[in-house]
Amino acid sequence: MGKAQHQDDTAKETEYSLVRVKGTWRCRGGKKINKGTADCVSAAKVYESTTERGMTWTVVSPIVFTYKVTETRGLLDPSNDTLLLGHVTDPQQLEDIKKANKPIRRFVVVDQEVFKIYGPKLTEYFEANGVIFKVMALPTTEENKSMEMALKILHEVNNFSLDRRTEPIIAIGGGVCLDIVGLAASLYRRRTPYVRVPTTLLSYIDASVGAKTGVNFANCKNKLGAYIPPAAAFLDLSFIQSVPRRQISNGLAEMLKMALMKHRGLFELLEKHGCMLLDTKFQAESSLYGHSGVQVASQATRTAIVTMLEELAPNLWEDDLNRLVDFGHLLSPALEMKVLPSLLHGEAVNIDMSYMVYVSHELGLLTEEEKQRIIRCMVGLELPVWHEACTLELIQKSLQDRLKHSGGLVRMPLPVGLGQAEIFNNTPYEVLHRAFVHWCDELNISSDGSCES
Ligand SMILES: NC(=O)c1ccc[n+]([C@@H]2O[C@H](COP(=O)([O-])OP(=O)(O)OC[C@H]3O[C@@H](n4cnc5c(N)ncnc54)[C@H](O)[C@@H]3O)[C@@H](O)[C@H]2O)c1
Ligand SMILES: [Zn+2]
């Protein structure tokens, strides 16, 4: 280290608070701030230091994100005002909006397939509430998850002359639609609030809960994106009734991920009622199935959401690389890209999790019986547990890529028993290899999709 650099490191630093007096912000040194004369003291600080080369000002400005994830029933029932006002957190603002008696304006982007089913109800909802609205129904597929699609939306948003202070953009659809619209909103006028309405199981329990937005770029999934949460996510389970069965299994994979990582009760619920959830598309009262009157569907989705929120809220920008939610996401991105579009995201995640269960077993973290229970549960959820494209080469390459991007450590969340997990670093190759051999021996399934296990 050179002398000048050393001087930089040891430079004396002065801390300033930011205080607003009569509408003007000023730096104030010293620990004691006269709160009597200030009309506001910011949580931000400025640190000033002097070196031979000049001054450095270091700004530390905490940014707080507040967003709601709200369950509702009958979201498109004209008497339910959640879609229009559920994002407003300040009671005074809510009162002002209601008193103003001005027509509400909303820009809505909806997945084209969802629009085919729910379009008339949506239009009716806005008309009944006297809303001035523009609905853009778009083919928001994984292949179209691009910057071009985001720009197409932005042109229309601009034509609508949206007021970013009071008119959140509404996204209604699966994870693809929610991700594209979220990114578009975070770009428009630097940050326009948006609202998420998930209509697939996967987006209901996963994409709606966190802060991530994005589009695919340079042949990589979600390469462009931002960590900007929505103002609110409104969850109505009734949308799931029209989702194809395979897409429900797809969502169940992410739910099973949370169960395996941190909630034994959720695992047992999926083990016992997985098939019923698939048959009824999350619409049935479980009392029909002998469960104590509580709706299994809402218990399962609530647990998945809470466990996910617990992991995401303290790490909204994913600065901490030790993430249990990464389970199933170490090998699956490469697998997904390799066989696109034959495997859905959740299916690729499940194949990754299935292999990792064998790694856990090989390390003595799961008993044979626990391993078998997990695999049986996956099969019960109609998820693939093995794939010929998930080769040892793909596994090694994925882990090497991870090594490059994660500071020289491959952090592997692994189940240690049912509903508990720990992160293991740099698992030895011999373990990965032995696990792979057993995984293939036991789960190389017959062509009709049935599993020997
Ligand atoms: N932002 C995040 O934190 C996050 C988390 C997980 C996944 N994702 C992203 O989400 C995407 C996957 O989401 P997805 O599984 O919802 O896929 P998707 O958005 O492609 O939807 C799946 C299919 O279901 C159809 N569909 C949607 N709702 C329907 C309904 N109610 N009835 C009938 N059909 C319906 C869609 O038209 C589509 O064909 C991926 O791009 C992934 O990267 C994001
Ligand atoms: Zn995922």
* 10-residue averages of pLDDT along the chain (453 residues): 45 90 92 80 96 95 94 97 95 90 95 98 98 98 95 97 92 98 97 98 96 92 94 97 98 98 98 95 68 73 98 92 94 90 94 98 98 98 98 95 85 97 95 97 64 39
pLDDT for 445 equals 58
**Contact between residue 200 and residue 237 where contact means Cβ atoms under 8 Å apart:** no
Distance, in Å, from the CA atom of 264 to the CA atom of 218, rounded to the nearest integer, reads: 39
pLDDT for 33 equals 77
* Residue 253 Cα to ligand 2 middle (Å): 9
pLDDT for 131 equals 97
* Residue 211 Cα to ligand 1 middle (Å): 16
Smallest-distance ligand from the CA of 343: 1
Identity of residue 377:
C
pLDDT for 219 equals 82
- Which ligand 1 atom minimizes the distance to the CA of 112? 37
The strand pair at 421-425 and 411-415 is best described as antiparallel
Q: Which domains, ranges and CATH numbers included, belong to the chain?
A: 3-60 (no CATH), 68-242 (3.40.50.1970), 245-288+304-443 (1.20.1090.10)
**Contact between residue 263 and residue 220 where contact means Cβ atoms under 8 Å apart:** no
- Which ligand 1 atom minimizes the distance to the CA of 240? 31
- Which ligand 1 atom minimizes the distance to the CA of 118? 31
- Which ligand 1 atom minimizes the distance to the CA of 201? 16
* Residue 36 Cα to ligand 2 middle (Å): 51
Question: Known catalytic residue: 212?
Answer: yes
Q: Which residue has the tokens 């740099």?
A: 426
* Residue 341 Cα to ligand 1 middle (Å): 14
Classify burial at 236, counting beta carbons within 10 Å of its beta carbon; exposed 0-12, middle 13-18, buried 19 or more: buried
pLDDT for 293 equals 37
Name the packing angle between helices 332-339 and 345-362 (round to 10°).
Answer: 140
Taking the chain, what is the end-to-end CA distance rounded to the nearest angstrom? 59
* Residue 96 Cα to ligand 1 middle (Å): 36
Distance, in Å, from the CA atom of 93 to the CA atom of 238, rounded to the nearest integer, reads: 30
Q: How many CB atoms within 10 Å of residue 407? A: 8
Find the catalytic residue in 145, 212, 257, 371.
212
The protein residue whose alpha carbon is closest to atom 35 in ligand 1 is 243
Smallest-distance ligand from the CA of 330: 2
CA distances from 368 to 27, 39, 46, 358 (A): 63, 65, 57, 9
Helix runs in 143-212, H state only: 147-159, 175-187, 201-202
- Which ligand 1 atom minimizes the distance to the CA of 141? 20
* Residue 250 Cα to ligand 2 middle (Å): 10
**Contact between residue 452 and residue 445 where contact means Cβ atoms under 8 Å apart:** yes
Name the packing angle between helices 392-405 and 332-339 (round to 10°).
Answer: 120
Distance, in Å, from the CA atom of 4 to the CA atom of 373, rounded to the nearest integer, reads: 62
The protein residue whose alpha carbon is closest to atom 27 in ligand 1 is 174
Helix runs in 132-174, H state only: 147-159
Confirm whether pTM is higher than 0.85.
yes
**Contact between residue 115 and residue 171 where contact means Cβ atoms under 8 Å apart:** no
Tokens of 251: 């969502």
CA distances from 434 to 331, 355, 366, 438, 445 (A): 17, 11, 15, 6, 19
The pocket around ligand 1, CB under 6 angstroms, is made up of 111, 113-114, 117, 141-142, 145, 173-177, 179, 199-200, 202-203, 206-207, 210, 212, 221-222, 239, 242-243, 247, 250, 345
Quick one: which of 378, 85, 144 has its CA closest to 259?
378
Positive or negative: CA dihedral 420, 423, 428, 429? positive
CB contact set of 175 (below 8 Å; sequence gap of 6+): 198, 200, 202, 203, 206, 207, 345
Q: Among 69, 111, 325, which residue has the most ligand 1 atoms within 8 Å of its CB, making it the best to mutate?
A: 111
CA distances from 230 to 36, 78, 254 (A): 37, 23, 21
Distance, in Å, from the CA atom of 315 to the CA atom of 322, rounded to the nearest integer, reads: 10
**Contact between residue 198 and residue 178 where contact means Cβ atoms under 8 Å apart:** yes
**Contact between residue 378 and residue 349 where contact means Cβ atoms under 8 Å apart:** no
